[in-house]
Amino acid sequence: MAESVNAANFEQEVLKSTIPVVVDVWATWCGPCRQMAPIYEELSKELEGTVKLVSLNIDEERDLAIAHNVSSIPTFIFFKDGKVVGKETGFMNKDALKGKIDTHLK
């Protein structure tokens, strides 16, 4: 399961990660976010050890979302070496999300 990140562990889990990270910014009330959840979980398992996929609940961590200029959800923020290298918004099928991960993080 994709790990949840918050203000307390964001720096350690995302910014200081030794491997690239994808942050899924979502909310329980967001239909497309709920549709993405099983796809995101599946990719989390497939990419384990090479890319870390984590989740950020926008309702619980609004300040972090604002700090990363998230204006709609789902938003996927791609981090490499602690820096944002890309951002994508909206529902994607598994192949599309995997393609975005490859584009931004490989």
Which of the residues are catalytic?
30, 33
CB 97 within 8 A of CB 43: yes
| CA 6 to centroid of chain Cα atoms | 12
Helix (H) or strand (E) segment spanning residue 105: helix 94-105
Q: Which amino acid is at 10?
A: F
